[in-house]
Amino acid sequence: MRKALCFAALMALLVGVSALAQETMDLDTALSLFDENDAIRIEYSAEGRAQLEAIIEAFRTALAVPDTLDETNEDRVGEFAVTPEQKDVINRLSQAYYTLANVFMGGETDEKTTYIKGKQWGFKSLRMNPDFVAVERSDGFVAAVQQETDLAALYWANSNWLRIAEFDVAAAVRGQIPPKAKAITERTLEIAPEYMFYGAYRSLGAFWSGLPSNPLLTIFIGGMRQDYPLALSYLCRVVDEPDICSECEGLIDPICLDYFENRTFFAEFYLMKLDFWEDAARILQSVLDEETGELYPLMNAYAQENARQLLEEVNKHL
């Protein structure tokens, strides 16, 4: 559903602000647009998109990334020379690519390509850690993840990877991506469950909801399969729904209520999947009824647009 978001109206405004995207943004300005919670403080608008594209270019310039580098190629990005001091910039570049694709590029030709770029930079950051590389070589990727401590590298590499998998779930399963993505998400949950407003709970809820149920596919991933009760157990931690979540642990932190994407995930990846249309409508409408607030101007406005699109689908079933 996120891919169906209509951004045409916002894109029309780009004519008036396209020059902004061409302006050079310095690294300090780009970094200043990330708050203490790593949220990107831009608006959900054509101007916001132009700012985000300028942020990406500022990071690429700071890393001296040439236009000839194929950022979708894991080997080329992995071989690209950087210094340890640039690791934070690389993590933020991975995040910025994810945000550009997720928020502003739904349905565009380059959407998947942008996620792939974000994933490659995230994996480069992980492999800048010699311990990660050594454990990956000796004991495998999952073992390397389980000892990794760079939260941002794990989170944004995985966020991009999970979005890429959505384009072809069967191919992702055959490539045994789900067990690896699960390991990363569970590791971020161990390190800092509150990161990105309890994003690991959202991710695990969507993960278990989105796995295939076809036994022929699940054999590739050790029998892991779609599990709605398990998805609910994670999603209930980020919403205040005691009736629906009566058999699960409830809201983990009241701050979750201020971040609207927690509720849209609950609707999209649990309620709508199981045809709980009335509850889905109620929760999505609650997102639309609130002010976006000043804390998360980009993501709450985006979540409201997503809620509008989801609610259109829900209303067809009421």
Q: State pLDDT tens for residues 177-225.
A: 999 999 999 999 999 999 999 999 999 999 999 998 888 888 889 888 9
Is residue 133 within 8 Å of residue 153, measured between CB atoms? no
According to the model, what pLDDT value does residue 216 have?
84
The token pair at 144 is 């390397």
According to the model, what pLDDT value does residue 13 have?
45
According to the model, what pLDDT value does residue 189 have?
97
Residue 20 clears pLDDT 90, i.e. is over it: no
What is the distance between the alpha carbons of residues 146 and 144, in angstroms, rounded to a whole number?
5
Residue 52 clears pLDDT 60, i.e. is over it: yes
pLDDT category at 9 given cuts 50, 70, 90 is very low
* One domain for residues 68 and 126: yes
pLDDT tens-digit map of 88-111: 999 999 999 999 999 999 999 999
Enclosing domain of residue 238? 193-318
* One domain for residues 73 and 211: no
Mean pLDDT score, 7-11: 47
* One domain for residues 52 and 169: yes
* One domain for residues 203 and 175: no
CA-based end-to-end distance of the chain: 18
* One domain for residues 166 and 226: no
For the range 145-152, what are the long-range contacts, defined as Cβ-Cβ under 8 Å and sequence gap of 24 or more?
A: 145/180, 145/183, 145/184, 145/187, 146/183, 146/187, 148/187, 149/191, 150/87, 150/91, 150/125, 150/126, 151/188, 151/191, 151/192, 151/195, 152/38, 152/88, 152/91, 152/92, 152/94, 152/95, 152/125
Out of 48-57, 136-145, 195-204, 217-226, which region has the weakest mean confidence (pLDDT)? 217-226
* One domain for residues 168 and 41: yes
pTM: 0.92
Selection from 137, 236, 148 nearest residue 185 by Cα: 148
* One domain for residues 1 and 132: yes
What is the distance between the alpha carbons of residues 275 and 40, in angstroms, rounded to a whole number?
34
Mean pLDDT score, 39-51: 96
> Among 187, 204, 233, where does a domain finish?
187
Residue 15 clears pLDDT 80, i.e. is over it: no
* One domain for residues 140 and 215: no
* One domain for residues 240 and 276: yes
pLDDT tens-digit map of 296-315: 999 999 999 999 999 999 99
> Among 187, 221, 241, where does a domain finish?
187
